[in-house]
Amino acid sequence: MFIRSLFCVLVHITIGWVTSPAFGEVSVGEKLFALKVKPLFAQKCMACHGDEPKKIKGDLDMRTRESLLLGGETYEDEVLIPGKGEESFLYILSTRVEEGMEMPPKEADKLTEEQTWGIRDWINEGAPWPSQERVAMIQKKYAEGEQVVTSKALSDDWQKRRYETKKLWAYRPLKVEKVPEDEHPVDWFVNRKLKEAGLDPAPDSSPLELYRRMSFGLTGLPPGRLEAIKFEREFGNSHDALLAHAQELMASPHYGEHFARHWLDVARYADSAGFANDYARPNAWRYRDYVIRSFNNDKPYDRFVKEQVAGDEMDPTNSENLVATGFLRMGPWEQTGMSVFKETRQMWLDDVTDSVGQTFLAHAMQCAKCHDHKFDPVPTRDYYGMMAVFSTTQFAERKAPFLSSESKEGFDTFAQLIQSKVSSYEKQKRKLAQKINQLKKAETGNAKVGDNGLDPGDEASQSRIFKNLIRHRIELDRVEPVTHAVYTGKTVPMKNVQGRLNIPEDPWAKGYLDPDVIYDGGSVYAQGEAVRPGGLSAAESLGGMTPRPFPADKGKRRLALAEWIVNEENPLTARVMVNRIWSWHFGRGIAGNPNNFGGTGELPTHPALLDYLADWFMKNGWSVKKLNQLILSSETYRRSSRHPDSDSLEKKDPKRLLFASFIPRRLVAEEIRDAMLLASGELNFKVGGIPARPDLNPEVAFQPRQIMGGTASVYEPDPLPSQRNRRTIYAERIRGLRDPFLEAFNQPGPEASCELRQTSTVAPQALTLLNAEEVHDRTLAFAARLLKERKKEPAVIQRAFALALGRSASADELSACIERWKQATAAEKEKAPVSKTYSQKIKRTVMAEKTGEPYDFWEILPVYETYQPDLQGSEVDARTRGLAHVCLVIFNLNEFSYLD
Amino acid sequence: MSIHKPNLVANLTRREALYGLSGGLGSLAFASMLQAEGAHSIGSHHPAKAKRCIFLMMEGGPSHIDTFDPKPALTKRHLQKFKRSGDKESAMSSGERYFVQSPFDFIKAGKCEADVSAEWHHLKNHVDDLCFYRGCQVESVNHPTACYHVNTGNRFGGDPAVGSWVTYGLGTLNDNLPGFVVLPRNSYPQGGASNWSNGYLPADHQGTPLRPEGSPILDLHAPAGVTRKDQRHNLDLLAKLNGKHFKARPDQGELDARMSSYELAYRMQMEVPGILDLKGETKKTKEAYGIGDSKTDSFGRKCLLARRLVEKGVRFVQAYAGNWDSHDYIERAHGSLIRSVDKPIAALLGDLKERGLLEDTLVVWCGEFGRTPDNGIRGGGASYGRDHNAKAMTMWFAGGGCKAGHTIGATDEIGAEAVECVHHIRDVHVTWLNLLGLDDNKLTYYHAGRHKQLSQFGGEVIRELIA
């Protein structure tokens, strides 16, 4: 009682004190409060200490000075002791010295030293708490940082909050500097920074190194030996030769394959839907080929964007446009009999909003789904505005006649194989049905209990066969002239989606319109305020975009968004793509997070260069090929990866942000596999078409894989080597069955968008490259090829180096390899390799869901009726097998996997 | 020599900047064999009892109603009709539905009088070491999304698993073993290996599955016909040729690390089979775990292996059992599943305790969700089974500072929904880390421009579960 009344007195006094300074005169403490402390509270504290009055943590309410003086359950009146900053726990906890009571609790949210000082100084000044109006007045007069006009925030404080100017870079209009005429723009900007840092650039790479870099960089394949030698000669005469060679590489269809690989990482391409059933997306491959085609034809990037976001709304009679919209459905998604449609529909709406945001605008939209964005000027209203663009977007496998540019190769054999699989299951199904009819007895008890006279696996097999029949029938759609696409119309609730979805005759007849609203707290069951379809309001206000209202109702909402994205006034779009392309060449972006241009992403190291390139890109018709040429023709691109003064490089640019030397990189998973196939002479260069099924680690291929209702069919590779040994981009990507070889070398999973590949070095990679059957198949074919092309030992080894490493072997290397070859040949002579055999059926043991007991079953593998293995050890002599050991060593060399 | 970065050789990642580049490989060790680098760790954030964890993952969704959460009210309503409707109606809830009683009797076990179905003949003797929790809720009623949620905190998968976070936080206790080992069934769960993925954390925090059949680690051995001598000679030539290349690029530490990783891989081929060898265990021990009995052999081996692994210093072991997805014939299916895990788990708990390991080993038992008190019509009749239920489940903890001998939280009268001490799975994750001395809010990793954490955006510790 006594304490309480003391408080009352104290509160009284302090309130009196706060209001005492003469109106208009702003005290130091007031300024600290209005400019630093209050915004800090709003950003870091109020989520737990006031925003939700019913859920205040630790009983500490920070909404008013009075409540703060009362304190919370742990520190009571020691939380805020006006005049005594160092002793107030508000300050002490913010410095994180009290273990277990660090505030804010999240390490990532911790205050900077300067911020904690602001709190301390404010308390030392008596902790004044001016009124809201007065705070607004002080902020207006003195505030640093800037406010951003956005659509409208959920909270007033957020609306008024201020941003560090430098973190708003991505929303501002491009600032294009003039580059002197005789200067290469890339070098002009890069060298200026180097000069500032007092760092000399590395000299040019050797022509052969440079050409290998170009070849992998533009096509993902090692250079041809003859082309490399030609380049070396011509580049020696004049550096201008580089451009012609770059153009030649970009004219090859493999350029599109390689650049598509980059794009598909961002788009999360896969040939299956993921999750419980992991059903095939039989027509997804047409989207993959669309991307390849687009890069090969140098489709202007603005058109490329528009087609993917709104191709159907532009012109639904054009197959190209429909195929492009597959992008919108690339994420994992399924609707099973167990799912609530409203929720799965919302999962997709969230997914597409986020993925469009990340891909084209470098904004992870999901961060604004439940609350206004914590760091960036993206209010929740913008999130739902962009989501509303997709309210009328619906799924369909639409009719889309094949274009002459699409490959229809292998349709028949594929369909036949699947048919035989289907027939084998149907036969088993009939047999099982007979058995069940004969043996099944009525169950005892008042409910079905399973004592029905059947074996533990009978009913499980029934359901497994039923499910796999559905799965394979879906696969048959792969060769049909339909495409994985969308249309605009009302939402029609779906139950169990397993197969083709058709477009209704009148898309506006049945179903309902998804509400265009904010879902409070991100819950689809909590409809809040209405929103209009729209883009990012900060990009409009800071970027100075002319407002263009989006249509609602039955209008073409996606087309409006697409046009908004590619509008040349949009400050984000060109910057985002230019930054991606830069990162594909240099291994890091000018801005370090290609999917995140917000305040928490890394700031651009060369903002002027980024802006210059973005502007140049648009002025040059959004041409990716032209941009590649501009980048490749720079000194910066040509630089050696080995800096002559590594000490000074380490000192002045430890993070390698200044591009003083080229950053070496390991090949990505796909490049490693493709390079082996190319060296061995097995690579099938065909472009496009239905997914290939390469050989997979057999233990993984045959391992039972659970799906809803049973076990998925075994992975069966294509029967012919030429079908299997295609470029990796054509390998079927099954979400629930990753290729362990590719996974080992950091191929990202197709669940989330990958902004840039990661590289790790772990021992399982060594195991894979040393031991995997697929690698041994390559080495044997490589050895056989070498012996076919060259006779004498030194010539054979020289040829191996030329094909695999693009250079000749030194005398030392030559003798070491020949010595090993001889030794291995001697050892191989003692061996009698046996041919691998392939069974046309396999016995598998799994657990039956209904009975909880294990059971066996036989699965028929029709592909092994016609399967032709790659070259086998038993087919060649000991000398070839001996050479294969040397080839294995070559494929395992650092030099093979690393680009200078 | 920590190597995990965007495609750059020379560029330093944030992690490297924080922990520095350790030079040399030091002792030739299994962890390093897998990782080609010394394991890094943040270190614990607060003192905690649990130093390691065994996660018994009951894939498929065990029914709380038929294991540890008796619902006598269902007996009265057995086979009475029941209708679910409204917004949240799924295809599953369409048509006629019936309440289903548990086919099992329940007993009060131990001093704490825990509710246990009478089928748990062995586990019932250990309930005083268990902390049952009935308040957890998840969001998804489909297996893969729910499994991802429980395993990684993210329904869509692709994020690091709990075990990855724990090894990232605490490192490994023994350089001779990987920090996070998974003991999967011979058929991988729905959603596949993403259930133990390292996500965006460095690759050395990936769960290492020791496969129960075939090669325990893929490509551990060379194809038939390649001898160890062949390999040695090949590696010698490799080292020679690589040496020359590296000499011209002395600043690229990654090249050196890669060279070492080959030697490590070579030795790994010798070491790994020994880890799996149960020969050193007595007949009595093997019998206790149910090894040799076809009903319990499979999970018994996993439990014994789990004990051996944590004993040797593995930080986090996840063992899979299942499939608990009993839509039909729950008596037969759950009966058989309980039998398959009951003895092995009891043996594991007893063994850990006897060796003084239970005190600082956290054991967690759960599935991806619970099951419904009702079922639909299947095959022309009401079947004695249950569907998926995200709103109620039972999980239990043992050892490692959990509140042993207590049952926390409760579900409603029929087990349809948690009603007491209700928490989202993210709070369970936060508590789980807390028991291991880790603070979810501090255990973050900067990726794609954001500090990420297991709970996604923070959660609270469920104090009731902590002793």
**Residue B28 clears pLDDT 70, i.e. is over it:** no
- Closest partner residue to B223 (CB to CB) among A275, A773, A886 is A773
Predicted confidence (pLDDT) per residue in A381-421, tens digit? 999 999 999 999 999 999 999 999 999 999 999 999 999 99
Cβ neighbours of A817 in B, within 8 Å? 237
* Position B2 pLDDT exceeds 50: no
Average pLDDT of the residues in A511-524:
94
Residues 650-709 of A with CB under 8 A from B: 650, 654-656, 663-666, 668, 697, 699-700, 703-708
User: Residue B94: pLDDT band by 50, 70, 90 thresholds?
Assistant: low
Window 167-206 of A: residues touching B by CB (8 A cutoff) are none
At residue A14 the predicted structure's pLDDT band, cuts being 50, 70 and 90, is very low
Q: How confident is the model at residue A3 (pLDDT cuts 50, 70, 90)?
A: very low
**Do the bridges between strand B130-133 and strand B406-408 make them parallel or antiparallel, or are there none, so unpaired?**
parallel
Q: Is the pLDDT of residue A20 over 60?
A: no
pLDDT in tens, B302-328: 999 999 999 988 999 999 998 999 998
The pLDDT of residue A179 is 97
pLDDT band at B183 (very low <50, low <70, confident <90, very high): very high
The tokens describing A438, both together, are 């004969």
pLDDT at A690 over 80: yes
Average pLDDT of the residues in B58-70: 97
A648 at interface of B, judged by CB pairs closer than 8 A: no
Backbone angles phi, psi at A342, to 5 degrees: -55, -35
Q: What is the pTM of this model?
A: 0.88
Say which residues have a Cβ less than 8 Å from residue B132's Cβ, sequence separation at least 6. Answer: B68, B114, B115, B394, B395, B396, B406, B407, B408
Q: What is the DSSP string of A209-240?
A: HHHHHHHHHHHSSPPPHHHHHHHHHHHHH-TT
Find the mean pLDDT for residues A528-556.
95
Residues of A in contact with B259 (CB under 8 A): 894
Query: Looking at the predicted structure, is the pLDDT value of residue A19 above 60?
Result: no
A46-60, A233-247, A603-617, B68-82: least confidently modelled range: A46-60
B9 CB neighbours in chain A (<8 A) are 641, 663-666, 898
Look at B19 and A121; give whichever has higher pLDDT: A121
Close Cβ partners of A608 (under 8 Å, ≥ 6 residues apart): A175, A177, A189
Instruction: Please indicate if any CB of chain B lies within 8 Å of the CB of A726.
Output: no
Decide if pLDDT at B366 tops 60. yes
CA distance to partner chain B, nearest, from residue A588 (Å): 7
Mean pLDDT lowest among A187-191, A776-780, B11-15 = B11-15
Three-state secondary structure call for residue A664: coil
- pLDDT number for residue B81: 87
Peptide bond into A654 cis (omega under 30): no
pLDDT mean over A833-842: 93
Contact assignment for A888 to B234 by CB distance below 8 Å:
yes
Q: How far apart are CA A849 and CA A829, in angstroms?
A: 51
Q: Provide the chain A residues 212-251 that lie in CB contact (below 8 A) with chain B.
A: none
- CB-CB neighbors (< 8 A) of B448 in chain A: 364, 593, 595-596, 601, 755
Question: Which three-class secondary structure state does DSSP give residue A731?
Answer: strand
For residue A5, what pLDDT is reported? 40
Question: Which of A 364-383 lie inside 8 A of B, CB atoms?
Answer: 364, 367
pLDDT at B116 over 50: yes
Minimal CA separation from B133 to chain A, in Å: 24
Average pLDDT over residues B275-298: 93
Burial A747-762 (b: 16+ CB within 10 A, else e): bbbbbbbbbbbbbbbb
A235-253 pLDDT per residue, tens: 999 999 999 999 999 999 9
Q: What is the pLDDT of residue B93?
A: 54
| Max Cα distance, chain B (Å) | 81
**Residue numbers in B near A449 (CB within 8 A):** 103, 329, 331-332, 384
| B9, B84, B227, B323: best to mutate for the A interface, most A CBs within 10 A | B9
Q: Name the A residues in 101-130 with CB < 8 Å from any B CB.
A: 105-108
Are A846 and B186 in contact (CB < 8 Å)?
Answer: yes
Q: How confident is the model at residue A538 (pLDDT cuts 50, 70, 90)?
A: very high
| Rounded mean pLDDT, A685-690 | 98
Type and span of the H or E element at A414: helix A411-439
Q: Picking from A431-445, A554-568, B24-38, B376-390, which range would have the lowest pLDDT averaged per residue?
A: B24-38
Categorize the per-residue pLDDT at B85 as very low, low, confident or very high, splitting at 50, 70 and 90: low
Chain B environment of A642 (Cβ under 8 Å): 248-249, 251
CA nearest to B440 within chain A: A106
Examine the pLDDT at B78 and tell me if it is beyond 70. yes
Four-way CATH pick for B41-227+282-465: 3.30.429, 3.40.720, 1.10.10, 1.10.490: 3.40.720
Q: Please tell me the predicted confidence (pLDDT) of residue A808.
A: 94
Average pLDDT over residues B406-424: 97
More confident residue, B398 or A47: B398
Q: Work out the burial of residue B352: count CB atoms within 10 Å of its CB; fewer than 13 is exposed, 13-18 middle, 19 or more buried.
A: buried
Mean pLDDT of A871-892: 98
Quote the pLDDT of residue A447.
78
Q: What is the pLDDT of residues A773-826, one digit of tens each?
A: 999 999 999 999 999 999 999 999 999 999 999 999 999 999 999 999 999 999
Instruction: Kindly list the residues from chain B whose CB atom is less than 8 angstroms away from the CB atom of residue A736.
Output: 144, 190-192
Name the percent of chain A lying above pLDDT 90.
78
Pick B447 or A644 by higher pLDDT.
A644
Residues A472-500, mean pLDDT to the nearest whole number: 96
**Which of B8, B333, B387 comes nearest A587 by C-beta?**
B8
Whether A851 sits inside 8 A of B3 (CB atoms) is no
Q: Please, are residues A386 and A535 in contact by the beta-carbon 8 Å criterion?
A: yes
Residue A533 has pLDDT above 90, yes or no: yes
Average pLDDT over residues A142-169: 87
- The stretch A684-703 carries a mean pLDDT of 96
What number is the average pLDDT over the span A555-576? 98
Contacts of B87 in chain A (CB under 8 A): 340, 342, 525
Residue of chain B minimizing CA distance to A813: B241
Residue B448 pLDDT greater than 90, yes or no: no
Interchain CB distance below 8 Å, B458 and A100:
no
Interface test with B, best of A498, A762, A780, A895 (most B CBs within 10 A): A762
Contact: B450, A849; criterion CB under 8 Å: no
pLDDT for the residue numbered B86: 58
Q: How many helices (H) and strands (E) does chain B have?
A: 11, 23
Residue to test with chain B: of A363, A659, A847, most B Cβ within 10 A: A847
Work out the average pLDDT over A828-855. Answer: 93
Beta-carbon contacts of residue A238 (< 8 Å; ≥ 6 apart): none
Q: Report pLDDT for A4.
A: 41
At B163, the pLDDT band (50, 70, 90 cuts) reads very high
8 Å CB contact between A139 and A156: no
A contacts of B144 (beta carbons < 8 Å): 274-276, 736
A854: left (phi over 0), alpha (psi -120 to 50) or beta: beta
Asked if pLDDT for residue B33 goes beyond 80, the answer is no
CA angle A687, A693, A697 (to 5 degrees): 135
Average pLDDT, chain A: 93
User: Which of A852, A873, A892 is the closest to B326 by Cβ?
Assistant: A852
What is this model's ipTM?
0.87
Distance CA(A92)–CA(A33), nearest Å, equals 18
| Contact (CB, 8 A) for A817 and A886 | yes
Q: Where are the domains of chain A?
A: 2-144, 203-257+571-666, 300-402+481-566, 411-478, 675-899
